[in-house]
Structure 1
Amino acid sequence: MHFSAEDLLDTAFAAEPLPLVELCLALAAAQRTDGPAGFGRWRRELARGLPPGARPLLELVRPDGDNPAFLEPPERDLAAALHAVREAGRALPHADLARAVARTRGGDPGGWLRGLWGGDRAAWEVLDAALRSAHASVIAPHWDAIRRSFRADVAWRGRLLAAHGIRATLAGLHPGARWSGATFEVPGPPDFEARLGGRGLTLMPSPFWTGRPLLAGLPDGSHLLIYPALTPLPPAAADGDGTADAADGSLDALLGRTRAAVLQCLLDQRTTTDLARRLGISLPSASEHTRTLRAAGLVTTRRDGRAVLHTVTGLGVELLRGGV
């Protein structure tokens, strides 16, 4: 991703999460097999509880987050977002139809997707009902938690931006991210190259997304970069050890109660086994928490013989001292 000076000056955080963007990311996450251990239970519950009327969306939403753009309008109000989907349906690119059909099992059985791209009224009623049903079951019950996750992450990244600048802030969005001059690079497939062209970048944390950051174009010609929020996932569940995250505007709201305790405990260097014993959590859970904190630049890990040693970084100490 190539930045100009104008882009660096015009990089900012989104004001609020977007309902249909979060819905598509949640359905994408439900189809993935990686990510935090807590997702396994959530995926199983979602597979059992997703209403039949919402299931057509699974033919459009991909595990890698590469979804048809018209499904993810940048609207903060659900009614406005649903209207934007309808309006976009008047001129869907034919190339998107071919990609969508190629992804389905059996090549669009019943022709529902072709009906969408052909403007068939019944197909669009199916899509509208699916979006409403999926939002009601997957997003609406947890919207407050999603907003807490969003705001806590933005508060932390905002402090990071003020203390260390935009380069460090963006590099902290993914473990493998790095800068090469004015080019921001993130490893992993698919390979693509984007030039922001001086139109700016909006940063948006998602409490559902666990993959590498996703880049999308916005109607005004600027770009949106979606990245995984620090808050334990999924927001509907307790954190990795069953401790509910009810804090608001605090370190617990940002990291989750157990993960915040892990960070505090690592003010002294500890092995994974020692950390698990002191906090009363499992070894896999302790490993998962340290991995996430390390990806955020809050913990460093080194191997000493057979032992794996973890300790808090300077950024982690700053977060513990200042809260959010």
Structure 2
Amino acid sequence: MLRLRLEYADLARVRFTDRLHPASTVLLASQALRRPPVAAALPVLARRVTSSGAALRPLHHLIPEQGPAPDFVTPWDGAASIEDGLAVIRSTPAREVRAQVSAAYAHTPASAARRRFADADAGVLDTLVTAMRAYFHQVLAPDWAALTRTHRQVVGEAAARYAATGAEGLFAGLHPGIRWCSPVLEVDAWPAGDVRLGGHGLFLLPSPFAGPRPRVLIREGRPALVVYPVEPPAGWGGGAAADRLAGLLGRTRSAVLAHVAGPGRHTTSSVAGHAGISVSSSSEHLSVLRAAGLVSSRRDGGATVHRATPLGRTLAGGE
């Protein structure tokens, strides 16, 4: 059990992450979907993993199936897009890579690639980043907008509970593996220990890929991050229509089309955030969809607003 001691300053800084981190979600999903119960609950995502085959193999080989992973593959920064997150991972100092990988591999069988990874070999790190990019685009991108909506829904419900019952009610409703015994937050997570947060606060992240019990990430000078499991909503996880559209347009472009086919005001930057890509990539995908007659765009003040055409909505399954 991990015991997090919260001072008044920490309680004043209890927050939820405002968005999902694409690169960190890849790491969580890559471990979660190797567990039979999760794969059974999310069969479409599991099939995408299987069909992607060799492209994802380096990620599965280098990152343990369960237990702690190297901290640097779940970065704090780079949440705007998958490329931003991968750039942060790739820029990790070699000494940190060596220390964290060696710790994560304490009970993992050795292999040539794992030895090179533990020695901070640049080529192996590039291979890992390439596999994480493929995982995002081939497995998660078609449902990234749905993941984002689920995150906001769960956070909204927790925020309402916090407003009605305070911190005690908030913590009590997160997960059975999280218990508030003022001034200590007990978390059934590894490694066991007793940690003072030192006034930096606490971030909470609900995730259907967290695992069977919560995870805690603690870094000096940063808020603690508690990732806790939530059930995937009924019917979530994509379907045959989503995969057929991905086969036609590519997974990321189909995710962009599916998003602008939904309700709401969709700007180039908001589409980028929902799809987990950069603004420039969002603009490129929208331009291609517009040229194909699937999206229409108009200027609205300082932004360009996009919506799917009737043909685009039909293709995305909206009609």
Per the normalisation by structure 1, the TM-score is 0.65
How many Å separate the matches in 2 of 1:158 and 1:183?
21
Paired residue for 1:86?
90
Choose 201-210 or 158-167, whichever is displaced more. 201-210
**How is 1:92-107 mapped onto 2 (pairs within 5 angstroms)?**
92-105=96-109, 107=110
In the alignment, is the contact (CA less than 8 A) between 1:210 and 1:228 conserved in 2? Answer: yes
Residue of structure 2 equivalent to 1:180: 181
Residues 1-324 of structure 1: matches in 2 within 5 Å?
Answer: 1-34=4-37, 38-39=41-42, 41-42=43-44, 44-64=46-66, 66-74=68-76, 75-76=78-79, 77-105=81-109, 107-108=110-111, 111-187=112-188, 191-218=192-219, 220-232=221-233, 235-237=236-238
Q: Once superposed, what is the RMSD of the aligned Cα atoms?
A: 2.9
- State the Cα distance separating 1:176 from its structure 2 match: 4.4
Query: Match for 2:164: what amino acid?
Result: A
Shift of 1:152: 0.5
2: CA distance, partners of 1:45 / 1:79: 24
CA contact (8 A) 1:206 1:228 kept: yes
Measured in 2, the distance between the counterparts of 1:18 and 1:191 equals: 26
Report the equivalent of 2:246. none
* Cα pair distance change 1:65/1:154, threshold 3 Å: farther
Q: Which runs of 5+ in 2 are unaligned?
A: 240-260, 265-319
- Over the matched positions of the two proteins, sequence identity in percent amounts to 29
Ranges in structure 1 where 5+ consecutive residues have no aligned partner: 239-245, 250-324
Asked if the contact 1:202/1:223 (under 8 Å) is kept, the reply is yes
**Residues 54, 133 of structure 1: 8 Å contact kept:** yes
Number of residue pairs the alignment of both structures matches: 238
Higher relative contact order (CA 8 A, sep 6+): 2
The 1:21–1:13 alpha-carbon spacing in structure 2 relative to 1, beyond 3 Å, is same
Separation of aligned partners in 2, 1:196 and 1:97:
24
Contact 1:201–1:222 (Cα < 8 Å) also in 2: yes
Paired residue type of 1:79: E
Judge conservation of contact 1:30–1:46 (CA < 8 Å) in 2. no
Does the CA-based 8 Å contact 1:177-1:184 persist in structure 2? yes
